[in-house]
Amino acid sequence: MNDNNALSDNAGTKSFDYDNILLEQVEAGIYRLTINRPKSLNALNAQTGDELYAAIQAVGRDPEARVLLLTGAGEKAFVAGADIVEMQDFSAIEGRAFSQHTIRTFRALETMNIPVIAAVNGYCLGGGCELAMSCDWILASEKAVFGQPEVNLGITPGFGGSQRLGRLVGRAMALELLITGRQVKANEALTIGLVNHVYPAEALMDEALAMARLIAAKAPIAVRLAKEAVQRGQDLDLDNACALESQLFGLCFSTADQKEGMKAFVEKRKAKFKNC
C-alpha cells in the first residue's frame, strides 16, 4: 500500500495503490473509494481500516478535491460488517483498540472538508452501516439491505452505530433496529430517513456521479462551510449554533467566489468559481 504512489491511465483517471480498497480520481475533483474485498462481502478488517484512513488523508491533501463517493466492490455488498473471522478471538483490549481506531477513521471521513456520499449497492450491515452513516448522506440501490445485527454475535455496535443511527432515524427506531437486529430494505430505509434516495441497481453509480458533478460545479468554499455549519452546529444549543452560522456566513463575503456568484446572478450568466 502506498498512498503517495498515484497511477494514471490514458483516460486521465488517477488511481492509487492499495490492497483492500480502490481509490480513483474519476473526474476532475471527483474521487471514488471502493472497499474491495468482494470474496468476504467487503468485510472491514484492520488492514482495510488502515488503508481507508490513508486514503482519506490522501484525498484530504488534494486542494482540487470536491466530492468523495464511497461504495463496495461487486454486486452483492457495500460492506457486510467488520470482519468476524478476524474479530472472533479478540481480547477485550484488542476489541476496544479496534473500535477506537475505526471510530477515529470514520470520524476523519465524517469531518472531511468536502461532501462524502455513500453509494450503497447491497448488504450494508454492522460496521458497513456504521461506515455509511459516517458519510454525509446515503444513496441506495434497490438491492441494498441495512441493519445492525451485532446482537446476533454477542456484541454491540463498535464503530459509532449506537450514536449515529439515533441521530438519523430517531431514538425509538434506532433502539428497535439495534436491539432486534432487524434488517431493512432500501425502501424502508428511505421511509425512516436513513437514506436520501433509492435507485435501480444499474443506475446507482451514474446517479451518484451526477450528484457529485452537481456539487463540483458549486462554489467550493461555500460547500465546505455549509458542511462545517451542519457538522459543528448539530451538537450545539441553538444560540451557539446560529452564532456559528453567522461567522461562517460572514466568512463567505471574504471570498472572490461570493463576489463572482452574486455578480453572475445580476448579470444573468453562469458563475465561474475559482475556489478562492
Binding site for ligand CO8 (CB under 6 A): 40-41, 43, 80-85, 87, 95, 98-99, 123, 125-127, 149-150, 153, 157-159
Cβ atoms within 10 Å, residue 267: 9
Tell which residue, 9, 10, 62, has the closest CA to residue 216: 62
What's the min distance (Å) between Cβ of 99 and ligand CO8? 4
Distances (CA, A) of 7 to 17, 27, 47: 8, 14, 21
What's the min distance (Å) between Cβ of 176 and ligand CO8? 17
- Nearer to ligand CO8 by C-beta: 156 or 246? 156
Rounded to the nearest 10 degrees, how much is the dihedral formed by the CA atoms of 171, 157, 152, 197? 60
Q: 64, 130, 176, 188: which is the annotated catalytic residue?
A: 130
Q: Which H or E run contains 117?
A: strand 116-120
- Nearer to ligand CO8 by C-beta: 87 or 116? 87
What's the min distance (Å) between Cβ of 140 and ligand CO8? 16
Q: 150, 176, 202, 245: which is the annotated catalytic residue?
A: 150
What's the min distance (Å) between Cβ of 23 and ligand CO8? 22
- Nearer to ligand CO8 by C-beta: 71 or 99? 99
Is 24 known to be catalytic? Answer: no
Is the distance from CB of 252 to CB of 228 less than 8 angstroms? no
Is 94 known to be catalytic? Answer: no
For residue 161, give every residue at least 6 positions away whose Cβ sits within 8 Å of its Cβ, in sequence order, or none: 126, 127, 129, 130, 133, 148, 150, 178
Quick one: DSSP state of residue 85?
A: H
- Nearer to ligand CO8 by C-beta: 37 or 227? 37
Strand partners, 24: 15, 32
Q: Which residues are catalytic?
A: 130, 150
